[in-house]
Amino acid sequence: MEYLTYDPHPDLEPLINKYWSLKVPEHEKSRQRIVPDGCIEMAFILGDDIKRYTSEQDFILQPRAMVLGQVMDPFYIEPVGTVDTFAISFFPLGFSNLIKTSLEELVNKETPLDHLFDPVLVKDLENHIIHAKSTEERIKIVEAFLFDMLQESKVIDQIVRTTVEAIYQKGGNVKLVDVIGDDKSHRKHLERQFKKHIGISPKQLGKVIRLQAALTSLLNKDKESLTEIAYSSNYYDQSHFIKDFKEFTGITPKDLLGSEELMLSSKFYK
């Protein structure tokens, strides 16, 4: 498995977390569990098709050019053959700058790219991505597309920006009353705008941010015990940590360690 990451153009850094490429030869393919990371992915499948399981046996084939919205429920993917994927990982507010569609409509599913942008432009973009000779060339191609798509006149609600910043600064452990006060109308407005621009609620994003910190610590073995990981990741206690962990990953922290089904996810968090 070859997983590589790349930095975005400086002007796109507020929107894009990273670019990444993944190559897996057919003899190494396996079913992998995908867990939340708080980001929205635009991905291009350049190798063989990839199955996304909707039940233990049933599956769909992921679109060849797609956007994966916020993931709130873990799911399995499995390549049909060789894996060769190029993707753009957007920060929670990043992708909202490119489209008018509410991001709530993208949660927990893959949406074909031509459902979100002009199909003619998408077809042209996909052809250029497919025939590019290197990841660096693909990055230049996709950045040209993104700059064209940016809606400079679109201003994301300042209250959403402020809340997202607060959630990240506090490691996911933020009380909305500390950000927007106790006015119920402000809270309802924030909830609506969050779901439009990010796809999920402030509380859900906070949970994902805490999970990110815990997963990173767990996979990198930064702490000696689950209790230490829980407190350092802003959980109230170990039981709270385990409860949230099972909600988003479907397994316990102990079950995660050494699981071959999480090799791919561990690449993202290490």
Last residue of one domain, picked from the residues 149, 167, 195: 149
Say what percent of the chain tops pLDDT 90. 39
**Do residue 11 and residue 141 come from a single domain?**
yes
Is residue 13 over pLDDT 70? Answer: yes
Per-residue pLDDT at 218: 78
CATH at 218: 1.10.10.60
**Do residue 104 and residue 171 come from a single domain?**
no
Is residue 38 over pLDDT 60? Answer: yes
* Cα→Cα distances 168→50, 112, 218, Å: 32, 29, 19
Q: How many domains does the chain have?
A: 2
DSSP string, 14-26: TTEEEEEEEEE-G
CATH at 90: 2.60.120.10
The gap between the terminal CA atoms of the chain, to the nearest Å, is 14
* Cα→Cα distances 82→127, 130, 214, Å: 19, 15, 31
Last residue of one domain, picked from the residues 104, 128, 149: 149
Higher pLDDT: 128 or 226? It is 128
Per-residue pLDDT at 25: 94
Tally Cβ neighbours within 10 Å of residue 18.
17
Tally Cβ neighbours within 10 Å of residue 149.
15
Beta strands in 80-145 (DSSP E): 83-90, 110-112
Per-residue pLDDT at 88: 97
Query: Average pLDDT for residues 86-106, to the nearest whole number?
Result: 89
Last residue of one domain, picked from the residues 114, 149, 184: 149
Is residue 222 over pLDDT 70? Answer: no
Query: Average pLDDT for residues 152-166, to the nearest whole number?
Result: 65
**Do residue 6 and residue 139 come from a single domain?**
yes
Is residue 115 over pLDDT 70? Answer: yes
**Do residue 13 and residue 128 come from a single domain?**
yes
Structure tokens belonging to residue 195: 């779901």
Is residue 109 over pLDDT 80? Answer: yes
**Do residue 85 and residue 19 come from a single domain?**
yes
Give me the domain span that covers residue 130.
Answer: 2-149
Indicate the pLDDT class of residue 153, thresholds 50, 70 and 90. Answer: very low
Beta strands in the chain (DSSP E): 2-6, 16-24, 32-34, 40-45, 50-53, 59-61, 65-68, 75-79, 83-90, 110-112
Say what percent of the chain tops pLDDT 70. 86
Average pLDDT, the chain: 84
**Do residue 59 and residue 185 come from a single domain?**
no
Per-residue pLDDT at 209: 84
Q: Which amino acid appears at position 162 of this protein?
A: T
Is residue 152 over pLDDT 50? Answer: no
